[in-house]
Each structure stands twice: as C-alpha cells, then as structure tokens.
Amino acid sequence: MKEADIRPGDLFEKYLELSAKDAVTYFSASIRNDLPCPACDNNQVQPAFEKHGFAYKICSVCGTLFQSPRPPWEDFARFYKESPSAQYWARVFFPAVAESRRQHLFRPKVRELAHLCKVNHFFPKVFADIGAGYGLLLDEWRRSFPETRLVAVEPNPDLAAHCRSKNLAVVELFAEEAEILRDQIDLVTAFEVIEHLHDPFVFLTSLAKLLRSPGRLLLTGPTIDGFDIQVLWERSNSIAPPHHINLISIRGFEILLTRAGFSNLQIFTPGKLDVDIVKNAWGHHQHLLAGQRFLQSLLSRNDETLGAFQKFLRDHRLSSHCWVWASKTAASKRV
C-alpha cells in the first residue's frame, strides 16, 4: 500500500486547503484556554510551534504533543457539523477513496481485530464503532460475523445517512452524548478519532460507560513517537489543526487509558506508510531533509530496503500509526 492509495494528492491538498481556511473562519474569534497535557494531565509543558493560528505544546512528562491554548468544545462541535472541510471529507474526498480504503484499510483491520478477539477468547455480541464514517468497518465485520449486533455512532449528518444506507443501527451523536448505549456494548472501536478530540479523557471515560464488563476497546490514532511525524514535525500533515489537535505518545496512551478506566493494555504500531509519507514529502520539498544525509540515502534505496525499514518501525513501536487494545477495568463499571 502507498499513501496515494488512500490519500490521492489532489484531493488531499484540497482538503488541507479547506482546513486551513476553516481554522480562521471557525476559530479566529474563539476564547482559548491553556490546558494541561490531555494524556497525563500534567502542567509541565513547553511551547513547540504554531500552525494555522493554533499553538502546540509538548508535555515534558510523557512527550505528548497537543494544541493549547484551545478553543471551547462548542466551537469544535460546530466546526465538525458544518465546516467546508468536514463537508468536503464526507461528500467528496471519502466517496472517491471509499472502495480503495475498504480494500487497503478496513478489510485488513477487520482481520486483525478478529485475530485480537480470538486470541483473547473474546466474542462480542454487540459492537459499536465510534466515528463510524461511511460504516465500512462495520460493513466488513458483518461479512465475517453476521450474528453480531452493530451500532454506528456518527455525529456528522451526511456520514450517519451513509451508515443507515448500509442498514446499520445509527446513533447520530458524539460518543460523549450517547447515554442511550450505556452498559450495552461488548466491543467498542474508535479508529482515527482520538487526534480530533477536545478532551480525550472525557471521551474515553464515556466509552468505558458504554461497555459492559468484560468489555474491550480498540483505539487507534497517530502517535507523536512515530517516524514520519518525528521527521517532518510541524510540516507533517498529521499535525493539521483544527482537525488533528492531539498527537499522543505511547507513554501518554498508557497513562491516559489507565486514568480513564482501562487495563490490560497492549500497544502496537502496525503502520505501513511512514517511509512512503516522508519520501513523498521530500520529493515535493527537497529542503525538508537538508543536512539529513542518512535519511536521504535511506529513502533513495530500493523498495525491498524501504519495506524492511518500515517493518523495523512496526516491530519496534516506531510507526506513527498506533493501536491500543484494552479491557474495561472492573471498577470502572461504577463510573
């Protein structure tokens, strides 16, 4: 798989352009407040950089990168429901890549998730996907496990409609508002959601409330510890305000999930695109790797060498794509 398979350059550039404009339209008048680290809740933070009018800080304790001072949740809720970039993603970008993403992302995700369930002797009867988008993950799960009751939690009206068109049960709310599902879910997934959240801790405690013991969570998202984000830093498209405002470290994920009522954590970085992302960025902007002779030499090698390096990143938790598999802590059922 290559980056272009899931993010065609012209469409993605348009999305980033709209996002940058939305940063001004929806947040220029926002009253912003300084935050502690969203992962470990520590105030020992240092300024990192500014992008599209949003300042980022890095936690001195767990290494998480996050946007602060931060606008209020209400501004983000409005942005995600009506902004041009959110509508473009739902109406233009995702329809163009849906089947490619089904093949390259969602089918492999279902296989990997099913394997995690099997090796843990865990067989969910009710499965909820948070931020379900087009419902592709649940649709693929249904192909293999038609007996599972499936619930799509999706606040975007356009995307919720697509989920309904696939005959999925839909809760058109943010997860933090989905009290109707309390203590009803066995397995909850949140793919590429954590980086968007105003308050990851509140979000995860809400997911713990949805789960009935012994429920399981699979959370995925970018980690600041990953190769392509570390190399590209503020030039990384994974750091894209107002969409991506939390880039949590692996240590941060460990602390955050434990704080929110989860245990038995397993953390993987099964990413496939770090090397391709950096190589593509370097191809478009030669100055990005100025003075980085080793990286320039590495990225000029053949596909076999680059594939071996990507495997090294995956095996040593150095890819920027992170999976967290966790159990609901027994005590958290009283939250």
Q: What string of DSSP letters covers 101-169?
A: HIIIIIHHHHHHHHHHHHHTT---SEEEEET-TTSHHHHHHHHH-TTSEEEEE---HHHHHHHHHTT-E
What count of other Cβ atoms lies within 10 Å of the Cβ of residue 295? 16
Residue 268: pLDDT band (50, 70, 90) is very high
Contacts of 287-293 with C-beta under 8 Å, sequence gap 24+, read 288/232, 288/235, 289/231, 292/231
Q: What is the mean pLDDT of the chain?
A: 94
Q: Which residues partner with 33 through β-bridges?
A: 70
pLDDT attached to residue 102: 87
Distance, in Å, from the CA atom of 278 to the CA atom of 300, rounded to the nearest integer, reads 12
Domain count, the chain: 1
Order of all β-strands in the sheet with 185-191: 169-171, 149-153, 126-130, 185-191, 211-222, 321-328, 262-268
Q: Give residues with Cβ within 8 angstroms of 160, minimum separation 6.
A: 152, 154, 170, 172
Residue 332: pLDDT band (50, 70, 90) is very low
Residue 331: pLDDT band (50, 70, 90) is low
Q: What is the mean pLDDT of residues 166-188?
A: 96
CB contact at 8 A, 144 and 118: no
The answer on pLDDT for 330 being more than 80 is: no
Q: What is the mean pLDDT of residues 188-210?
A: 96
Nearest by Cα to 218 from 250, 194, 248: 194
Which pTM value belongs to this model?
A: 0.92
CB contact at 8 A, 59 and 39: yes
Give me the sign of the Cα torsion angle 301, 305, 306, 307: positive
The answer on pLDDT for 334 being more than 60 is: no
Q: How many residues does the chain have?
A: 335
Query: How do residues 217-233 score in pLDDT, each as one tens digit?
Result: 999 999 999 999 999 99
Distance, in Å, from the CA atom of 66 to the CA atom of 242, rounded to the nearest integer, reads 11
**Domain around 118:** 3-334
pLDDT attached to residue 95: 87
Q: 77 or 220, which is more confident?
A: 220
Distance, in Å, from the CA atom of 199 to the CA atom of 114, rounded to the nearest integer, reads 29
pLDDT attached to residue 98: 85
Q: What is the CATH number of the domain that holds 271?
A: 3.40.50.150
DSSP 5: H
Site of tokens 């890549």 = 97
Q: What is the mean pLDDT of residues 46-56?
A: 96
